[in-house]
Amino acid sequence: MSIRVIEEKCVGCGLCSRECPQSAITVSNKKASIDKYKCVFCKLCVSTCRFNAIEVFSQRQENTEAISEHKGIAVYAESLSGKFNPVVFELLSKANELAKTTGEKVKAIVLGSGFDEKDLSLLKKYADTIYLVDNPFLKYYRDDVYSAIMAYILKTYKPSVVLSGSTIRGRSFMPRVAIELETGLTADCISLEINEKGNLVQTRPAFGGDLMASILCEHTRPQMATVRQGVFPVDDSINKNGVIEKVDVPSELFKSEMEVLEFHPCFCSDVNIADYDIVVAGGRGLKNEKGFALLKQLAELLGGCVAGSRPACDGGFIPHSAQIGQTGMTIKPKLYFAVGISGAVQHISGVEEAELIIAVNTDPNAPIFDIADYAIIADAFEFLPALIEKIKDKKFAKK
């Protein structure tokens, strides 16, 4: 469903514009227009208009031939300074798995600036075709420009499925692309399969993680989904020899409402927690910086990295890039050490597939204990120093 202005009925009175709570309606030359990126589909304008000049309509692509024109599984290959985000190769691996069922080709879409053959060589192993837009204007990320160019590519090459990582960038501009293409988008998927009708079954947590919802996009194309890092494994056995196809994009798509004055990397972790076999994470129970200082000591002794739950990240004790859970990272380490984490379903969904889970909490009824292999009921500020000393003694004894 969508909403639009019937121009022949609109008199430009401006009443809808004044009533719109999102400031999504503007009036120019006595005609109203709706900004589909701002509209939240509250339909207040429909009931407000005295001339019945605004209507709700169905966008369903009932034409089977139109849907059948879409072929291929495309992956947005997010990059920064030529380096591709690790989730890209997870998605390309999954795309190749899905392609075995559909018999379609796998395509990677690259937007950015200053790529060379070395940068793209890894993608060529996983994709049959790489659509490349290399332009100096794309050096800095802008929502409006990236979404416009992505929409143009998808309209031109018509893939059936489009996948992106649930990164800050993917969550930012992929919804805009879906709006432009008038199709659906399922966020934070944890499973992707092709059903007997050839549709993509997109599964994601719902109701705070208590249920799993399987979502279909049967009437529109492409079928779009975002996936968090760590959900799918990387298949190193794939060895294609993809072809790079440079895409000529209309110059008007490079116009932006945003001007980038300077670029400073955000405050984030200097490590990728998904790459570590041992992850030591802290939660609200660690209370302050001293608690996380102890956690860091433990991680260094074990050869792991430090992560945190959402309350710990929101409290500023650890960067959001090291957050584990439904709104953070999904990881599968060999050892997960959870200290002072109660274990809300949102957090558990990001770590439940760890090989070994050790949980420390003062509350014997903490939900984290339901998935823990070892449950330790103790005060973290008493337990951690004692454990650190034991590990140090053992290490020195070996030397």
pLDDT tens per residue, range 211-227: 789 999 988 899 999 99
Which residue ranges make up each domain of the chain?
A: 2-57, 64-254, 273-398
pLDDT at 236 over 80: yes
Q: Which residue has the higher pLDDT, 288 or 370?
A: 370
Chain segment 318-340, per-residue pLDDT in tens: 888 889 987 788 888 999 999 99
Query: With pLDDT > 70 as the criterion, what percentage of the chain qualifies?
Result: 94
Superfamily of domain 273-398 in the CATH hierarchy = TPP-binding domain (3.40.50.1220)
pLDDT bucket at 375, cuts 50 / 70 / 90? very high
Per-residue pLDDT of 43-80, as tens digits, reads 999 999 999 999 987 655 445 557 888 999 999 999 88
Measured between its terminal Cα atoms, the distance across the chain in Å is 69
Residue 271 has pLDDT above 60, yes or no: yes
pLDDT at 395: 60
Check: CB of residue 251 under 8 Å from CB of residue 148: no
**What was the pLDDT predicted at 265?**
61
The reported pLDDT for the residue numbered 274 is 80
Average pLDDT, rounded, for the chain: 89
Instruction: Specify the pLDDT at position 161.
Output: 96
Pairwise pLDDT comparison (136 vs 271), residue with the higher score: 136
Do the two domains 64-254 and 273-398 of this chain adopt the same fold?
yes
Between CA 276 and CA 150 the distance in angstroms is 33
Q: Among the listed ranges 32-46, 96-110, 374-388, which one has the minimum average pLDDT value? A: 32-46
Q: How far is CA 298 from the centre of its chain?
A: 30
Most confident range, picked from 144-148, 164-168, 271-275, 321-325: 144-148
**CB burial class (10 A; 0-12, 13-18, 19+) of residue 89?**
buried
pLDDT of residue 159: 96
- Quote the pLDDT of residue 267: 44
Q: What gap in Å lies between CA 54 and CA 45, rounded to an integer? A: 7
Give me the DSSP letters along 90-111: HHHHHHHHHHHHH-PPEEEEEE
Domain at 64-254: CATH architecture: 3-Layer(aba) Sandwich (3.40)
Residue with tokens 């890092």: 229
pLDDT band per the 50, 70, 90 thresholds, residue 242 = very high
The whole model's pTM is what?
0.70
Domain 2-57, classified CATH 3.30.70.20, yes or no: yes
Extract the tokens encoding 326. 């439904």
| Residue 224: per-residue pLDDT | 96
Q: How confident is the model at residue 358 (pLDDT cuts 50, 70, 90)?
A: very high
In angstroms and rounded to an integer, the radius of gyration of the C-alpha atoms of the chain is 24
Q: Is the pLDDT of residue 398 over 60?
A: no
- The amino acid at residue 45 is C
**Of the candidates 306, 396, 380, which has an alpha carbon nearest to the alpha carbon of residue 342?**
380
Does a cis peptide bond (omega within 30 degrees of 0) precede residue 250?
A: no
Q: Residues 342-364: what's their mean pLDDT?
A: 91
Residue by residue, DSSP assigns 310-333 as: HHHHHTTSS-GGGBBSTTSB----
Q: What is the pLDDT of residue 357?
A: 96
pLDDT at 276 over 80: yes
